[in-house]
A and B are shown apart, each in its own frame.
Chain A
Amino acid sequence: MMTHRRELSVAAAYAALLAALWFIAPSFFQPANLRDVLVAAAPLLVAGVGMTLVILTRQIDISIGSQFAICAVVAGLLAKDGLAMPIAAAGAVAAGVALGALNGALVAAIGLPSIVVTLATMVGLREALRWTTGGEWVQDLPAGFQWIGLGQSAGRAGIVVAAAIVWAVVAWALRHVAAGRAVYATGSDAEAARLAGMRPRLVVFGVFVLMGALTGLAAVLSAIQFIDVQTNAGAGFELRVIAAVVVGGTSIAGGRGSLAGSLVGVLLLATAGPALVFLGAEAHWDRALQGAIVLAAVAIDSVRGARL
């Protein structure tokens, strides 16, 4: 119980928010609105899974916003070229893998600090994308692109289910597969992990590659909700994902945290925005509220003496 103190407090905070909504604005719980919140949260959750692993290994990746944009554009262009949706989606994920591998190589193989590496790739990739696309959206996509041709309701359900499956699989693997334990060990003390026979550099490379793949998937889940692909997609995405993971209890110093916490963190931040509107506040307080939630979460932790 004690080891999950943080996850429990976030869950309690989320429950409090839902309770407030239940009493003040019960219309929030209309199926249509709940569905919208979940669909919006799905890409955030998928990327949040990847980011949790990255932060667990004591690294960070602030380039996923730019990766997101590139993967979305790749998916759009492949679909436009006539490829079937599953292939276009796979292409987007592959693009994410390549970009993640770039980060991973610079951090793990050469040993450069991840915050600066991903700062560089964030700027470089975003500008390279804008240069090659001229800022133009990818339009005139085939009809099968939106909702993968499944239609709106099945498509939406599919998006949420896909995110849930990804979360469940990685959550299970993190606990029960040796590679999962290696992630925690690398973040706790990479040198000790190495001496114990693990390969921390490979682990770090791996989490960046996985981050890229999941960013690609998140981009697909997001892109298929619309009929064209914006080339400035994903702006600010990385900070929202990091905020959700941190609020969910994963320590920025590595080695501590869980996917359960990240799930609650994602739900909390994804609900906070719409909740504002239902509680009668104006939408332009959204960003301030997100920042306040992050600060409150970490400040409370600190005051209670938890190691951040």
Chain B
Amino acid sequence: MSERAYRVIGSRPVRHDGADKVTGRAQFGADIRLPGLLHGHLLRSPYAHARIRRIDTRRAEALPGVLAVVTAADLPEVPDRLLELVEGTLPLSYAQANVLARRKVLYKGHAVAAVAAVNRHVAEEAASLIEVEYEPLPPVLDLLEAMREDAPLLHEDLRTREFGQPTGKLSNIAEHFRHALGDVEQGFAQAEVILEREFRTATVHQGYLEPQTATALWNQDGRVYVWTSTQGAFSAREAIAWVLDLPVSQVRVTPMEVGGAFGGKIRVYLEPVAALLSKKAGRPVKIVMPRRDVFEATGPTPATCIRVKMGARADGRITAAQIWMAYETGAFPSGQCGFGALCILAPYDIPNILIDGYDVVVNKPSTAPYRAPGATQAAFAAESVVDELAERLGLDPIEFRLKNAAREGTRRADGLKYPRIGCVEVLEAMKNHPHYRAPLEGAHRGRGVAMGYWFNIGWYSSCTISVNPDGTVNLVEGSVDLSGTRTSIAMQAAEALGLRADQVHPVVADTDSIGPTAVTGGSRTTFATGWAAWEAAQDVIRQMKERAALLWEVGPDQVEFEGGVFRAGERSLSFRELAERLEETGGPVIGRGTVNPSSAGGSFAGAIADVEVDPETGKVCLLRFTCVQDAGTAVHPGAVEGQMQGGSAQGIGWALNEEYLFDPQGVMLNSSLLDYREPTALDVPPIETLIVQAPEPDHPFGVRGVGEANIVPPPAAIANAIYRAIGVRLRRLPMKPSAVLEALWSKER
């Protein structure tokens, strides 16, 4: 538990953007209104794989009310360079081809052309008048088939990288990597029980409620202004500038309120298209993605195939684990398998590990991160096998995990030596939780547990703090606020300055108004931008000490600051009293903070799930669910609980119902919120939370990001619970009713 006493950290103030969000005043991406605004609409490919032979836009251009039509021909040729994404790097040519297809369409829904018109209905009508001649090609839709030597190739220039080196071999396998620790052969030789299992998981979507949207104005002075729903104003600025071959400083991105993202709003989709349309039309253009396109043409998260071989001694020690994992990347390469590999065995101290990972392109939308990208699929596989091993050895599943738990000094599969982590603390908290000890009676009921991990990232952030004469401060930050980080960052500034949370006024700024700040993702924002705010606060304190020293005619190092009061000997001024006197002591005080921590403490989360299975329909009902997570230090416990509950609900949806269904031609069959079936309020039980606090050693307040690890354990915990309810182990996500029923039938046969 937290060892330090804080005044603000650990409290639950009402969030700073709260009033705007309950009154409808908050400005989300699509809410922007500009004089002369046009509406854009994209034409998308009906084929999953085809060559574009010809595009004729004349009929669309002739429709009254149409002001601009663009295709990939309007995009500049761009130099060969790598675009930095959170999940790795992507060749710029691929990033550009995903915005508007150039020679080939690589998935159903791939953007081909766009129209700007006086309203959305005219734009839609015009888009339908664009004639595109396609040469359909056989689609590659299955991960394992895509890996075959004789599979049709998506790209004519994609060569496999193996163990970090180019091989020159053309294939759909973008990357094959390996992590090795110890000697797995020897490890398995020591094992008394060895299990080998294969798991499949389906493509799922982040499912944010706000569709992608972008508004752009290509100003007559050559600057491009963009208002968008993005996780990172600066990463969007870079991507837009690169795709349009502009200097980054020519682009200003204003991040609007974001209606959910979860990793899916890092890439740019509509922004460059809106900019091109605006350039042609000479007026601002807004595009709002229809929901179907959100499913078909943004970045869902990979379907996977994961094989886990794990061995343990009779005394309960895991001796070796070998993993073969292949992740679909969709139409273009992505690095999520690599993330999965860092997480798949992360909760355990296993001396002998061999992991082979493959990123494979298929004719589906280009995948994007989704909350702990790659980790949930990995944990579903590994945690199911860990559970089965515990059962074989006759051990309680939490005791078995504790016996093998990773702790400070344990090596992760990639060789990283853990600093202080909270894995054991989370497991102990689960073991002692009333939920785990509560009796669970009744037929077809079972309880399962699982662990999850997300490594969290650091990365660069900027903040400025200016002092108001009334003793409050304005905090300007570059981090887009997805779910309350304005408040969790402001609270850290308030703590450092001895102020109340409501005396810090946070503002998320555009890219012209604050220093570069990396994307809100990787659970980094409360950690890294909070740290930058702390640095900015220290800068303010340093300058304010100088002002007090001036008033008191002492040296600045004689002035102390504690509990919101500046002191030197007998003399003292509160923060507010000194703030009133800045004008007479040299003018405004503005503090700045920039950080770029290379690593961050990872976060562990555990789930306990009770289920009841209807053996006649296969439907799984969650009776009770508990999430336990290490927050390092919980800045705003209410917001931390909110993250835990939200991540758990997403994990529950992933476990039970969510999936992309495709026809044999690669057309998505369920691209609506009706048929994609995100959980409703009735589909999840009240989600209990328990926050564990094992402070991160480097951060000024010991903060660990909590945004992601919570989504990781639910599918495995629910699979393990289903096994205890009906005696069947499900190794495919989602564990939908028909799948549960079929598993029951095959057990009976």
Partners in one complex: no
